[in-house]
C-alpha cells in the first residue's frame, strides 16, 4: 500500500479519469456488492473512458502499490469482481469501454470493447443473421465473459468463450500499463505460445482486459424443444447417446431438472405453469433443444417433427413421458429454478462438473450424502447433462428443522467438493470460475507443482499481485 | 553441455531405457531428417517405454545439461522435431508410449498415450461410431498433434486440437522430471489458469507431452461433395456466406484450389483424372464437403440432394460450373497437389492465414507480387478458405529461367510474410507452428512485450532451455 491518504489516491485517480470517471461514497454501492457473493468496500471506483485511461490508471496503481479489482457488469457468482472489506482496493470498471463493436461479416467475427454487454453485442450481430451463442441467466460484459470463460446452457454445441476467442487485448501490470495485443482475427494461427490463454478463465487476475475478437455464428432458423421423463437414471445417458447419434448435428441443450427443482419454480414463480399438469412434476426431467441454422428450402428438415419421431422410438426404451412444448415456456421453467429455490430459503450453491458418463451416479451419490448426513437440508439440483456440469444446489429452507448454521454449511461444502474432486474426477468450479468465495478449494485441490507454475505465471504479468481479487499462486488463504 | 563424452551419455541413457530403447549410428537416420525441413545429427535416440522412463531421462538430461528434442511421428513441417547439426542433442522419441487408449463412450472422450498415432486412435474409436476428426495429409502421433495444435481441412466444423483437448499430461524440466497432470476429462472446468494451454502449439518446447484426453465426435453417416467454379474472386466469399447461412450445420470443408495447383496434380500424379475433362482445369475451383452425423430415418435429409439444390440456385450468381462428384475422387485431387507440385521442382512453402474476408484479396496480391518481382517462379496455391488458411506455395521449377538461388528464396519469404503480417493482418504460420525453419519470423513479428512474456513462460518450466528445438523467449537467432 502506498502511504498516500485515501483522499490523495482519489484525487490522483480523478485527475486521470475525470469527474465522470470517478465514483465515491454511496455511488459505489452497486460496484461493492457481488451478484451472489462478495460484499466489500472500495476506496473508489474508476471508470476509464478508453484504453489510454486504463493504461494511465494501471501505471499509477503499480507505481503507488494500489490494488485494483477489474469489474465488468459485476454478474459473476464467486465474488471475483468486488473489492475486499479493507477499503483500500479500487474497482476498475470497464463499463465505459464501449467504443468499438466492429462486425466482419465475411470473417464471421467481431472485435469488441470489453465493456460491451452480451445483449448489446447480440443486438449488433442480429441484422447480419449472426449471434454470439453463449446462453446464461445474466447479461455480462465481454471482458467479464473472457475472465470467467463463460459456458452456459449451449456449450455442447458452441463451446465456451475460450473456444470462440480469436484475439484479446489486455493492459498488463508488468510492464506497468503496457498494452498487449494477443492474437488476430484468425482461426488458424500457431505462432508460439498462445499468450491470450493466460487471461481466459482467471477471474480478472493479473491484467485488465480491454478488447476481444470473437468468432460468431449463424443464427438458427428453426429449433425444437421437448421436456422428457426418463425411465431411469441409466436411461438418461442412453438417451443422450442416442440423441447425439441420431440428431447430434442439431443438439444445443440437454438440461437435467430434478423434481425438487421444477417444484420450487412451479410453486414460487408467478405465472409459471406445471407442464405436466394435472400430473405432478416427475422426479426428473430433461429439457432437450435442437437448433438448425440451415434453410428448410434445401434440407426439407422439420426439426420438431424429427425430434418427435425420435422420441416416439425412445418410448419405453429410455423415456416414459414427453411434453412437446412451446420452447419459451419450457425454457422459462428451466430459467426460473434459481428464483424458485431462493424463495425456499438460503441456497448453498455447487457449480460442479464430472465426466458426463458419471453425472447421474454423482447426483445420486450426492443426494444420498445430503439425506444421510444433512437431513435438514433440501436438494434442488439441475444441470447441463451433456457437458457434465451440475448445479447441485442445496437449500437451507426457511422452515428447516434446524436454524441456519455456518459451520454445517462449511461441512457440506467440504463434503460435496471432496466427492466431486476425489471420487468422481470432477471439478469444484465448472463454469463460475474461482473467486474469493471458493479460492480455499483452489488451494486445497491444486497440486504443489501446478500451484508453483501458477505463481510463476502471475509474477510474470503482475509481480506485486495488485490486479484482481484472487491470487492463484499464493500460499493457501485461510 | 555436460562435459561428459558422447559415449558416457549414451551409456547412461541406455541404462535408463534399456537396449530396446536406445538407437545410435545408422539406426537414427529416420529420426534425424524431418518430413520437409530439418536435417541434423543426434547424439543418440532414446525411446522410453513408459512415462517413468521419460521422467528418468528428463531428470538425467537436466542434471547433466543435455539437450533433448521430443519427437512423435516426425511428420511436422517446420523442423521442430529433429536435432540440430551439432551432434550434441538427443532425440526423445515418444513412439513407444502407446500403452493407453481408453475410450469413455458416454463421455465422448478418449485418454491416450502420446505415441499413439491418429490412425490408430481412429481405429480404436471406429467400433463406437466415434472419430477424432482432424484431417491432414500425414499420420502424426497424439503428442505431436498437441505440440503442433494440428488444424487440417475440417477445422471449420470441428476446430483444431486445442478445441478438443480436455486434459494433458507432461513431464517438466523444472522441477526436473516432474509429472504434471493438467485438466481432467471435463468439458466445463474453470479452476484457475488453464496450464495445459502453455504446451499446445509450442512445438515441443519446455516439456515432454506424455498423455492427452481428447473430446471425440460422432462419425458422420452421410456426406456430400462438389467441385465448383466461382464466377469471380468476390463470388467465393459470397458463396461461402450463402453456404453457411443455408447449409451451415453441415459444412465440413471449403477448400480453394488454384488452376496451377489442380494442373500440377493432374499432370504428375498417376491415375488422377481431370474432373473437368474434356475442358481444361479452370483458374480456380472450390471443393465443398458437407457431413451429417444424424440419422436420415429422422431427418429425411439427403445431403447430396440438398447441396445440389443449393448449387442450382447459386448458378449464375456465384458459380458457373460444378462437378458433382465422387467424394473420394475429388479429395484425391485435393490431396495430390503437394505431390504434383514437388514433381515440378523445389517447393517454397507458405503456410499462412488471413481473416477469411481478406483471403481472395491476399491471394490476388501475393500472386501479383510473384509475377512482378519473381517472374521466374510458379505459384501453386491452395487453401482452406473457410478458416482463412492458405498454402501459398511457390515452385522453383526444374525448367525455370533462372537457376535455384537461396538468396532469391529468402527475399521471397521476407516479401510474402511481410505482406501477410503487415498488410493483411495475418499469420506467418497458420497450422504448421514454429520451428527452426521459420523461427526467424517469430522473432521478427513478435512484439518485445510478448517476447518477454514468452521468455518468462519458458523459464518457468525449462529454465536452461534444454527441451525442444525452438526457443520462443530468446533473442533472435540469426
Q: What is the CATH number of the domain that holds A76?
A: 3.30.43.10
**Residue B1 located in a structural domain:** no
CA nearest to A453 within chain B = B460
The model's pLDDT over A225-261, given as tens digits with 9 standing for 90+, comes to: 999 999 999 999 999 999 999 999 999 999 999 999 9
- d(CA A430, nearest CA chain B) in Å: 4
The CA distance from A324 to A331, in Å, is 12
**Shared-domain flag, residues A152 and A241:** no
Q: Which of A39, A68, A93 delimits the end of a domain? A: A93
B190–A445: do the CB atoms touch at under 8 Å?
no
**Shared-domain flag, residues A234 and A327:** yes
Q: Where are the beta strands (DSSP E) in A259-377?
A: 284-292, 319-323, 345-348, 351-353
**Shared-domain flag, residues A105 and A71:** no
The model's pLDDT over B50-79, given as tens digits with 9 standing for 90+, comes to: 999 999 999 999 999 999 999 999 999 999
CA-nearest of A253, A147, A254 to A208 is: A147
First to last CA, chain B: 21
**Residue A475 located in a structural domain:** no
The CA distance from A449 to B171, in Å, is 11
* Average model confidence (pLDDT) across chain B: 96
Q: Which of A159, A186, A218 delimits the end of a domain? A: A218
Q: Sheet containing A42-46: which strands, arranged edge to edge?
A: A22-23, A42-46, A89-93, A68-71
- On whether the CB atoms of residues A237 and A354 are closer than 8 A, the answer is no
**Residue B53 located in a structural domain:** no
The model's pLDDT over A397-417, given as tens digits with 9 standing for 90+, comes to: 999 999 999 999 999 999 999
Identify the CATH number of the domain in which residue B323 sits: 3.30.70.2190
Name the residue with cell 509481480: A463
Q: What is the CA radius of gyration of chain B?
A: 23
Q: Where are the beta strands (DSSP E) in A175-232?
A: 179-182, 207-215, 217-218, 222-230
Interface residue B382 vs chain A (CB under 8 A): no
Neighbours of A414 (CB within 10 A): 13
A355–B186: do the CB atoms touch at under 8 Å?
yes
**Shared-domain flag, residues B185 and B113:** yes
B182: confidence class by pLDDT, cuts 50, 70, 90: very high
**Residue A58 located in a structural domain:** yes
- d(CA B425, nearest CA chain A) in Å: 7
Q: What is the mean pLDDT of each run of 10 residues along chain A (478 residues)?
A: 88 97 97 91 98 98 98 95 97 97 98 98 98 93 98 94 98 97 98 97 96 98 97 96 98 97 96 93 97 96 97 96 91 95 96 97 98 98 96 96 96 98 98 95 96 94 95 63
What is the grid cell recorded at B423?
498488410
Mutate to test the interface with B, among A160, A180, A191, A203 (most CBs of B within 10 A): A191
B192–A432: do the CB atoms touch at under 8 Å?
no
Q: Which of B311, B335, B359 delimits the end of a domain? A: B335
B195–A454: do the CB atoms touch at under 8 Å?
yes
**Residue B449 located in a structural domain:** no
Across the range B336-365, mean pLDDT stands at: 96
Interface residue B456 vs chain A (CB under 8 A): yes
Alpha carbon separation from B177 to B23, B170, B196, B435, B469 (Å, rounded):
22, 9, 17, 24, 19
**Shared-domain flag, residues A114 and A212:** yes
- Asked whether residue B263 carries a pLDDT value surpassing 90, the answer given is yes
Identify the CATH number of the domain in which residue B188 sits: 3.30.465.10
A105–B294: do the CB atoms touch at under 8 Å?
no
**Shared-domain flag, residues A310 and A232:** yes
Interface residue B477 vs chain A (CB under 8 A): no
**Total count of domains within chain B:** 3
**Shared-domain flag, residues B294 and B361:** no
**Shared-domain flag, residues A227 and A157:** no
CA-nearest of B43, B1, B45 to B23 is: B45
B203 contact partners, CB below 8 Å, separation of at least 6: B76, B78, B80, B81, B147, B148, B433, B434, B435, B468, B469, B470
Across the range B439-455, mean pLDDT stands at: 95
A192–B434: do the CB atoms touch at under 8 Å?
yes
B195–A453: do the CB atoms touch at under 8 Å?
yes
Name the A residues in 414-443 with CB < 8 Å from any B CB.
Answer: 425-434, 442
CA nearest to A181 within chain B = B450
Q: What is the pLDDT of residue B478?
A: 39
The CA distance from A324 to A316, in Å, is 17
* Average model confidence (pLDDT) across chain A: 96
**Shared-domain flag, residues A232 and A328:** yes
**Shared-domain flag, residues A45 and A108:** no
Peptide bond into A175 cis (omega under 30): yes
Chain A residues touching residue B243 (CB < 8 angstroms): none
Name the residue with cell 420438431: A304
**Shared-domain flag, residues A211 and A258:** no
Q: Which domain holds residue B117?
A: 101-218
**Residue B437 located in a structural domain:** no
**Residue B231 located in a structural domain:** yes
**Shared-domain flag, residues A371 and A287:** no
Chain B residues touching residue A58 (CB < 8 angstroms): none
Per-residue three-class SS string for chain B: CCCCCHHHHHHHHHHHHCHHHEECHHHHHHHHECCCCCECCEEEEECCCCHHHHHHHHHHHHHHCCCEEEECCCCCCCCCCCCCCCCCEEEEECCCCCCCEEEECCCCEEEEECCCEHHHHHHHHHHHCEECCCCCCCCCEHHHHHHHCCCCCCHHHHCCCHHHEEEEEEEECCCCCCEEEECCCCCCCCCCCCHHHHHCCCCCCCEEEEEEEEECEECCCEEEEEEEEECCHHHHHHHHHHHHHHHCCCEEEEEEEEHHHHHHHHHHCCCCCCCCCCCCCCCEEEEEEEEECCCHHHHCCCHHHHHHHHHHHHECCCEEEEECCCHHHHHHHHHCHHHHHHHHEEEECCEEECCHHHHHHHHHHHHHHHHHHCCCCEEEEEEEHHHCEEEEEEEEECCCCCCCCHHHHHHHHHHHHHHHHHHCCCECCCCCCCCCCCHHHHHHHCCHHHHHHHHHHHHHHCCCCCECCCCCCCCCCC
**Residue B28 located in a structural domain:** no
The model's pLDDT over B215-258, given as tens digits with 9 standing for 90+, comes to: 999 999 999 999 999 999 999 999 999 999 999 999 999 999 99
Amino acid at each position: 500500500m502506498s502511504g498516500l491518504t485515501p483522499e490523495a489516491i482519489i484525487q490522483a485517480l480523478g485527475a486521470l479519469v475525470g469527474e465522470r470517471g470517478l465514483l465515491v461514497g454511496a455511488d459505489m454501492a452497486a460496484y461493492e456488492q457481488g451478484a451472489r457473493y462478495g460484499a466489500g468496500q472500495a476506496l473508489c471506483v474508476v471508470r476509464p473512458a478508453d484504453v489510454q485511461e486504463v493504461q494511465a490508471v494501471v501505471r499509477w496503481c503499480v507505481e503507488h502499490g494500489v490494488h485494483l479489482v477489474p469489474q465488468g457488469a459485476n454478474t459473476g457468482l464467486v465474488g471475483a469482481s468486488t473489492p475486499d472489506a479493507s477499503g483500500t482496493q479500487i474497482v476498475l470498471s470497464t463499463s465505459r469501454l464501449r467504443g468499438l463493436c466492429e462486425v466482419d461479416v465475411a470473417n464471421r467475427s467481431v472485435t469488441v470493447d470489453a465493456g460491451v454487454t452480451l445483449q448489446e453485442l447480440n443486438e449488433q450481430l442480429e441484422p447480419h443473421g449472426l449471434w454470439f451463442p453463449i446462453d446464461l441467466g445474466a447479461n455480462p460484459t465481454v471482458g467479464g465473459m473472457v475472465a470467467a470463460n463463460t459456458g452456459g446452457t449451449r456449450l455442447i454445441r458452441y463451446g465456451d468463450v475460450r473456444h470462440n476467442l480469436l484475439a484479446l487485448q489486455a493492459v498488463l501490470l508488468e510492464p506497468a500499463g503496457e498494452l498487449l495485443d494477443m492474437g488476430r482475427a484468425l482461426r488458424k494461427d500457431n505462432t508460439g505460445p498462445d499468450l491470450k490463454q493466460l487471461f481466459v478463465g482467471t477471474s480478472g487476475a493479473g491484467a485488465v482486459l480491454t478488447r476481444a475478437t470473437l468468432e460468431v455464428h449463424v443464427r438458427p432458423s428453426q429449433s425444437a424443444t421437448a421436456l422428457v421423463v426418463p425411465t431411469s437414471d441409466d436411461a438418461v445417458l442412453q438417451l443422450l447417446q442416442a440423441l447425439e447419434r441420431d440428431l447430434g448435428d442439431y443438439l444445443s441443450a440437454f438440461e437435467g431438472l430434478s423434481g425438487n427443482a421444477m417444484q420450487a419454480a412451479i410453486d414460487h414463480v408467478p405465472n409459471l405453469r406445471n407442464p405436466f399438469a394435472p400430473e405432478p412434476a416427475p422426479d426428473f426431467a430433461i429439457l432437450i433443444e435442437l437448433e438448425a441454422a440451415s434453410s428448410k428450402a434445401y434440407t426439407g428438415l422439420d426439426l420438431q417433427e424429427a425430434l418427435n419421431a425420435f422420441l416416439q422410438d425412445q418410448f419405453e426404451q429410455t423415456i416414459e413421458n414427453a411434453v412437446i412444448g412451446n420452447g419459451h415456456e419450457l425454457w422459462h421453467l428451466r430459467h426460473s429454478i434459481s428464483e424458485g429455490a431462493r424463495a425456499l430459503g438460503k441456497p448453498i450453491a455447487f457449480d460442479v462438473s464430472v465426466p458426463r458418463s458419471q453425472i447421474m451416479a454423482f447426483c445420486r451419490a450426492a443426494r444420498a450424502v445430503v439425506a444421510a448426513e444433512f437431513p435438514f437440508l433440501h436438494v434442488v439440483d439441475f444441470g447441463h447433462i451433456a457437458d457434465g456440469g451440475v448445479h447441485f444446489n442445496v437449500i437451507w429452507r426457511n422452515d428447516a428443522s434446524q436454524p441456519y448454521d455456518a459451520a454445517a454449511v462449511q461441512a457440506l461444502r467440504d463434503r460435496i467438493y471432496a466427492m466431486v474432486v476425489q471420487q468422481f474426477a470432477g471439478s469444484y468450479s465448472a463454469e463460475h470460475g474461482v473467486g474469493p468465495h471458493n479460492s480455499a478449494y483452489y488451494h486445497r485441490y491444486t497440486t504443489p507443482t501446478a500451484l508453483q507454475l501458477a505463481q510463476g505465471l502471475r509474477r510474470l504479468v503482475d509481480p506485486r499481485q495488485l490486479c484482481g481479487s484472487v491470487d492463484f499462486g499464493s500460499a493457501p488463504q485461510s
